[in-house]
Amino acid sequence: MMGIVLGVFAGLGILLCLGWIRASRSPSMSQRVLAQVRPRGASLANPADIARPLVSAAVASLDHILGGGDLERRLRRCGLPITPEQFRTEQVLWGLLGSVGAVMVTGGLAIVQGSVKPVTSVILALLGCVTGLLLKERWLDVAIKRREQLIVDEFPTIAELLALSVAAGEGVFGAVERVIKSSSGALGQELEQLLSNAQSGIGLSQAFTELGEQAQVPVLARFADAVSIAMERGTPMAEIMRAQAADIRDVGRRTLMESAGRKEIAMMIPVVFLVLPVTVVFALFPGFIGLSMNG
């Protein structure tokens, strides 16, 4: 029974992997020409073609269960240049790898104990699949938080560079373009997307407005709104950018102090529960040995 379960999961894994690899590759010129000249009844059997419906059905079911309404927004916040369908496909593969790992663990238990119930194997495989799916979701959340923290860390420097460029006589568009050339971080990618939107015909002010609406980072949203309002009202831009940079530096300083306070309390835990008891034992143990010997 264990061999059957391992064979089923291994075959399913191979089919899904082939389907994902085939779907992620763009067809070559020869493949596109062959599709036009091949007779209708002479279709070649391909494992990837067999796996593609399975992958599509699994991706659609997973998206329906987890709710993919905000997945595109989360991927944009993470900065991943992939579609929600590609992410769900990778998530299905993570779940499959979790199932395969659980089945391998079950096989190891069967070798050690002699036999394992089939129900246990199925339950462990399902748990491994769910673990893989949740780990992929958790990975996306961690990547989003890391990227947003990078944006916050880069913002004071970028704002100062923008203020210097504007004060030197550059326009807002030229200042942003100049800063993008010298920046390769997460905030630079957001500004590059902003310029792309502005060049598409909506205008720079509207592009800043959309950046403020789409950004989930409060610092970047306030900056975009302030720049958009300043461009509409003719307010001096350099002073606004310097003020924004100073505000975020103050916020970062307060956040650092709060984090230091929490770390100070956390550092007391090993001192109280580990260092202090060991010190007391070393101080009292010789006395107890001396009393026992004298007694």
Are residues 15 and 113 located together in one domain of the fold?
A: yes
Residue 167 and residue 131 in one domain: no
- Do 23 and 117 belong to one domain? yes
Classify residue 166: in a domain, yes or no. Answer: yes
What is the reported pLDDT for 43?
44
Residue 212 lies in domain: 150-250
DSSP per residue over the chain, as a string?
Answer: -HHHHHHHHHHHHHHHHHHHHHHHSPPPHHHHHHHHHS-TT-PPP-HHHHHHHHHHHHHHHHHHHHT-TTHHHHHHHHT--S-HHHHHHHHHHHHHHHHHHHHHHHHHHHHHHS---HHHHHHHHHHHHHHHHHHHHHHHHHHHHHHHHHHHHHHHHHHHHHHHHHHTT--HHHHHHHHHHT--SHHHHHHHHHHHHIIIII-HHHHHHHHHHH---HHHHHHHHHHHHHHHHT--HHHHHHHHHHHHHHHHHHHHHHHHHHHHHHHHHHIIIIIHHHHHHHHHHHHHHHHHHH-
Q: How many domains does the chain have?
A: 2
CATH at residue 230: 1.20.81
Q: Report how far residue 10's alpha carbon sits from residue 8's, in angstroms, rounded to the nearest whole number.
A: 6
- Whether 278 is covered by a domain: the verdict is no
Residue 295 domain flag? no
Confidence band of 55 (pLDDT split at 50, 70, 90)? low
Packing angle between helix 186-197 and helix 118-167, nearest 10 degrees? 70
Q: What is the pLDDT of residues 181-224, one digit of tens each?
A: 887 788 888 888 888 888 887 888 888 888 877 777 888 888 88
Within this chain, do residues 141 and 155 fall inside the same structural domain, yes or no? no
Same domain, 108 and 158: no
121 and 20 co-located in one domain: yes
178 and 108 in one domain? no
pLDDT digits (tens, 9 = 90+) for 240-268: 888 877 887 887 788 788 888 888 777 88
Distances (CA, A) of 35 to 20, 248, 274: 20, 57, 71
Record the pTM: 0.66
Is 256 among the domain residues?
no
Tens of pLDDT, residues 71-111: 888 888 888 888 888 888 888 888 888 888 888 887 777 77
The answer to whether residues 244 and 159 touch, using CB atoms and an 8 Å cutoff, is: yes
Q: Which of 87, 117, 125 is nearest to 9 (CA)?
A: 125
- pLDDT greater than 70 at residue 276: yes
pLDDT at residue number 226: 84
